[in-house]
Structure 1
Amino acid sequence: MSLGSHKCVWAAETRQCGVPHTNDTANTSRPLSVGKMLRAGCRAALRRPLLASRRLSSLAASQAIAGERPVDDEKWIRLMQQTSRLETSVLLPLNEKLLGPLDRKHREEKLPSLPFVFLLGNHSSGKSSFINYLLQRDVQSTGVAPTDDGFTIIAPGREDLDQDGPALVGDPDLGFSGLRVYGPALIQRTQLKVRKGIQANYMLVDSPGMIDSPRSPPHQSQFGYSATSGRLSPQQQQSNSFKGQDSDRGYEFPEVVRWYAERADVILLFFDPDKPGTTGETLSILTRSLVGMDHKLHLVLNKVDQFRKIHDFARAYGSLCWNLSKVIPLKDLPRIYTMCIPTKDNQMQAAEGLGASMKDLDAMREEVVSEVQRAPERRVDNLITNLYDSSRLLKMHAEIFEDLRARYASEKWRRSALVAATFVGGNALAASALASGVPIEAAAGLSVASVLASAGVVWHNSTVMAQLERDLLQEDSLGELFRRRYGRQLAEGDEYVLSLWKRVLPSLQVAAHTLGFSKLPKLKSSEIAALDNIVSNEIPELRRQCAPTDSSLAHQVAKMFRS
């Protein structure tokens, strides 16, 4: 099966980007800068049509799709620039000012330069074979036994080059510098493979196969595979899950998986007939590291062609569903793709095993390939979704933060007024007494008494305000502010608002405790208005720009009514 009808034009495109490309023997001995070459190649790849390399199962279908209008990559680049502009100009400054819930360290990191697909699964589940099939060349080693003990990033380029982990992580522009925090053991087990002739405008990340070991932590469903985003921030939620775990690999594998999964545009989780979901580490990753990734996670039961009887297939598929049901607390299980990788000559033995269903397996495999090749489009969708989620999260934090500051300031002003009234009132009474002929000693005593009374009120106020600070940091007090502000949404049963609050609460407590109540910054109305503008105007406009208006009747009708 051919990967596509067009040929690789990487070298020509890199020339257009201003990158020299020469066959001069004088220059071939000079070492190439992998980072510079890859960045130039990434820019060139993003200019190729996103759908140009989409594969189909027949030549007729391939020719039919070739006539479609390709997606304009400049459009996706422009949308990504707009989301980045809104985040850097509005969200990040306000988040820094209020010590908001957005992860400052990860927000400052650059995303990987190209969209990428993250592949996970048991050892010998067919991840590397799928990569080789997708790229139509042997990039990864394959075998029954575990063949890889680290993470491999595969990117398109104009030359075949390999880059080790320290060089990859040390490059500030490729977007993988955040892996440095997980230690040298991970860095030494990470590599970049740049391969020429790859007709793709995305990267693939292959992961080490997951296995059971004596120290593998048991999976626990209480961490929750959530169909909503109702959870704490990844750092707050995962710290309890990962902290204190013994590491069998020299680094915290679940945390690293979470890092890649948060940045991936498509995630494929592979299972195979020999281990249909029974590997403890796989289920542990599903319940701990992939929480909230439902929208981009795809489950794949691979190597289905190994079954010789339909009865064996039914047992393996049922076993996988049973194991998943124990860690996915939902009535409906997600879709499971059943597929297999064809042989090199692309010929199936239709007379053996499940040969009669091979056409269905081919079609299912092409659906998975189609999802992989949608990674650039998914990058834009994910950025807009993250922008909306971050805006709503920060807005709730800002509003409750301002209510908290206003309540504390109001009480502080009231008690300061009491001190002033005691002091001024006592001295005014002393002056009045002196004017009415009271001996000066008595008037002075009255003035001293007012000063002492004022000092006593100040001491009492400090005690009361300290207790108020402790009370306001309690979940009940903050919950009262939340219910007062969002009472209408709660009455309407808005679960999304409730899920946001669960994530905002810890950041509010940390911000108030860190800044101190007396130094809480005042929120400007223009800052809230900027957040409202993003949620109400900017994000809907971004959604409309990336909507398939030309090919979707529903979008065309909606546009007609909108105008």
Structure 2
Amino acid sequence: MKLLVTPCCLLWLLALSAAEGDAIGSGLRDRSHIEEMLRLATSEPSVEFSGAIKRLLDIYHKAIKPMEQVFRYNELRQHEVTDGEITSKPMVLFLGPWSVGKSSMINYLLGLHGTPQELYTGAEPTTSEYTVIMHGERLRTIEGIVMAADSSRSFSPLEKFGQGFLERLVGIEMPHKLLERVTFVDTPGIIENRKQQERGYPYNDVCQWFIDRADLIFLVFDPTKLDVGGELEMLFRQMKGRESQIRLILNKADSLSTQDLMRVYGALFWSMAPLVNVTEPPRVYVSSFWPQDYAPDTSRELFMKEEISLIEDLNQVIENQIENKIAFIRQHAIRVRIHALLVDRYLHTYHEKLGWFGDPHEVFQDIVNDPDKYYIFKSILAKTNVSKFDLPDKEAYQDFFGVNPISNFKQLSQLCSWTGGCLLEKIEKAISHELPALLSGITKSSEAPAPPAKAAPASPPPLPGACKSPECEEKPKNRWRKQ
């Protein structure tokens, strides 16, 4: 028996195939709201932004860096501030267990799904390197050794973690509007059943380096994997003091029913409560951050609102990057000043207690091992405007002076010149006047009213059915970008 297909039937089958193809193609979500909310249509940084960065660099080099070098602050904190770090874009750090969707989330935010630039994803632990996704004129991959050797980048200090780590560091440059304003860092997943020694590099130290420099930290979880182990606990200890930058993300939320999702949400807070020791818990975003459409019969409206809130959070970090840079440099200057005052106090006490026949090594070791006996730290709190919460650990100076003999330093009163002034006065002026003035100038310029425009002709009445809600009004523009 032969099956006859008439022209009418053939046209009907072709139309049915096209409809099925459209249904399959519609499985990807519309991400136009991401580009609109992050204002990716804007161009290069404005003149005011470039001027503020230049002024910030000038203050750092003239008032803060000389004090760092004289008192070797970098050997105490292991945090060297470079020009690349000051001028760098905001950094968004992705942390979390393996296969929770960190790479998929970056692909979604950048719109890389189905393109040659797409980061590899899978159900197994796929990301074994620290991947830095940044802007470039063309798509290319940069080895970690090359990134560390380039002093113009902010990643040159990573060389101290050894070649074993640099082999696991990779940079990806690509032309993308969002990457002109922010840098993403994808990290290897936390694997609780693996010992740190097996990684081949100091995992916690490397994470600390990125945490210290991140403007936003996305800690991503899978609702089916909420186990808390030693590595995750260590990460939370390393993020102490950076709670305002942490955002918890409960990803793949559409894989559960609403009832199960509520239980997992409560379990996440129960697991995180002992680790996040703050009065106000971090913000938790519940959604599915990948290009595929939400699963049917799930809370689509809730997930979309959560996604919009996260994008607004990301945009806020991008918008406030210059204010955050100034605050970071001022905080760094305060720590450098405290370190200089403490070294000066150690030196003053040493010369005061050292007699004609005393053993210099024994005298100084007694001071370093028991600083409270000589009121080293209490004298700093009493005589200067220093918070006790900013003081470093006393044990840190045992290691510091073990590497740097006290004879290598001069007292602050001796670090003055007729032409350059005193180092202490310069850094105090930067902390008290110059950096606050720079921040105040930025705030005033952003709040300055626009010049009165010429009277425009009356606009025609709105069309019937036109939107009149506040959501339809024009959104505020980025004051740091040329429009």
User: Is TM more than 0.5 here?
Assistant: yes
Of 63, 75, 98, 1:123 maps to 98
Q: How much has 1:393 moved relative to structure 2?
A: 1.9
Q: How much has 1:552 moved relative to structure 2?
A: 10
TM-score, normalization by structure 1: 0.63
Match in the other structure for 1:431: none
Of 319, 323, 332, 1:390 maps to 332
Match in the other structure for 1:486: 381
Matched, 1:314 2:314: no
Match in the other structure for 1:405: 347
Asked whether the equivalents of residues 134 and 184 of structure 2 are also in contact (C-alpha less than 8 Å), the reply is: yes
Q: For the pair shown, which has the larger CA radius of gyration, 1 or 2?
A: 1
Q: How much has 1:312 moved relative to structure 2?
A: 0.9
Q: Which has the higher contact order (CA 8 A, sep 6+)?
A: 2
TM-score, normalization by structure 2: 0.73
- Which runs of structure 2 are paired with 1:1-400 in the superposition (5 Å)? 1-3=30-32, 52-53=39-40, 73-100=46-73, 103=77, 106-108=80-82, 110-111=84-85, 113-138=88-113, 139-201=118-180, 202-213=182-193, 215-216=194-195, 246-276=196-226, 278-280=227-229, 283-308=232-257, 310-341=258-289, 343-344=291-292, 347-348=293-294, 352-353=297-298, 355=299, 358-400=300-342
The change in CA–CA distance for 1:403 and 1:302 in structure 2 (over 3 A counts) is same
CA distance in 2, matches of 1:364, 1:528: 48
CA distance in 2, matches of 1:466, 1:140: 57
Q: How much has 1:174 moved relative to structure 2?
A: 2.6
The change in CA–CA distance for 1:311 and 1:191 in structure 2 (over 3 A counts) is same
Match in the other structure for 1:433: none
Q: Cα deviations across residues 469-512 of structure 1 (Å, max 9, x unaligned)?
A: 343323344761332342388xxxx9x71122234x45555565
Structure (1/2) with the larger helix percentage: 1
- SS of residue matched to 2:185: strand
Q: Cα deviations across residues 156-199 of structure 1 (Å, max 9, x unaligned)?
A: 33322223333333333233233333233332232222223444
Asked whether the equivalents of residues 265 and 378 of structure 1 are also in contact (C-alpha less than 8 Å), the reply is: no
The change in CA–CA distance for 1:182 and 1:472 in structure 2 (over 3 A counts) is closer
Asked whether the equivalents of residues 412 and 423 of structure 2 are also in contact (C-alpha less than 8 Å), the reply is: yes
Superposition CA RMSD, Å? 3.4
CA distance in 1, matches of 2:111, 2:96: 21
Asked whether the equivalents of residues 70 and 409 of structure 2 are also in contact (C-alpha less than 8 Å), the reply is: no
- SS of residue matched to 2:142: strand
CA distance in 2, matches of 1:516, 1:191: 38
Asked whether the equivalents of residues 125 and 272 of structure 1 are also in contact (C-alpha less than 8 Å), the reply is: yes
Runs of 4+ in 1 over 6 A off after TM superposition: 4-7
CA distance in 2, matches of 1:165, 1:334: 32
The change in CA–CA distance for 1:294 and 1:74 in structure 2 (over 3 A counts) is farther
Asked whether the equivalents of residues 210 and 282 of structure 1 are also in contact (C-alpha less than 8 Å), the reply is: yes
Number of matched residues? 406
Asked whether the equivalents of residues 161 and 202 of structure 2 are also in contact (C-alpha less than 8 Å), the reply is: yes
- SS of residue matched to 1:537: helix
Asked whether the equivalents of residues 204 and 235 of structure 2 are also in contact (C-alpha less than 8 Å), the reply is: no
Q: Cα deviations across residues 421-469 of structure 1 (Å, max 9, x unaligned)?
A: xxxxxxxxxxxxxxxxxxxxxxxxxxxxxxxxxxxxxxxx323766543
Unaligned runs of 5+ in 1: 8-49, 55-65, 217-245, 416-460, 554-563
CA distance in 1, matches of 2:251, 2:34: 27
Asked whether the equivalents of residues 130 and 170 of structure 2 are also in contact (C-alpha less than 8 Å), the reply is: yes
The change in CA–CA distance for 1:271 and 1:550 in structure 2 (over 3 A counts) is same
Match in the other structure for 2:27: none
Matched, 1:462 2:347: no
CA distance in 2, matches of 1:508, 1:538: 30
Asked whether the equivalents of residues 152 and 192 of structure 1 are also in contact (C-alpha less than 8 Å), the reply is: yes
